[in-house]
Amino acid sequence: METLANEVRETLIATARHYLKNSYSPYSNYPVGAAVLAEDGLVYGGTNIENSAHPSGLCAERVAINKAISEGNRKILAVAVVTRNAGAPCGACRQVMREFASLDMPVILTAIDGSLEEEFTLGELLPRSFGPEDLDRK
């Protein structure tokens, strides 16, 4: 696993906490905040944005990743997610992470009240994954 400096780790968690406050989650009542460290050294945050047509909603992790990618980044170095119970990213978010991150990328899961904090690698969260290198791109 890539080692994060404590300052970077704390910045990621603080950014995710900040974005959690902007959550639009009237259907699940499950606010999520996320932050990603991109290859340009900047931290990008996002929150979940639900929609009455449920498939149209967006997860916080994908919002943050998409912000980083839209700014020209192609590699995510770390992710932090804050929820009320330190919940893990959904499968779709894990797959999007896989597109732009190495399998040893750290994923930090934190409860909003700080009572629980865990760290996993993307590979631990998405074993036997499928990535860009698995496609035949002749």
Catalytic residue numbers?
61
Query: How far apart are alpha carbons 34 and 13 in whole angstroms?
Result: 8
Answer for the pair 68, 43: CB distance below 8 angstroms, yes or no: no
Cβ within 8 Å of residue 20, ≥6 positions away: 31, 32, 33, 47, 60, 82, 83, 112
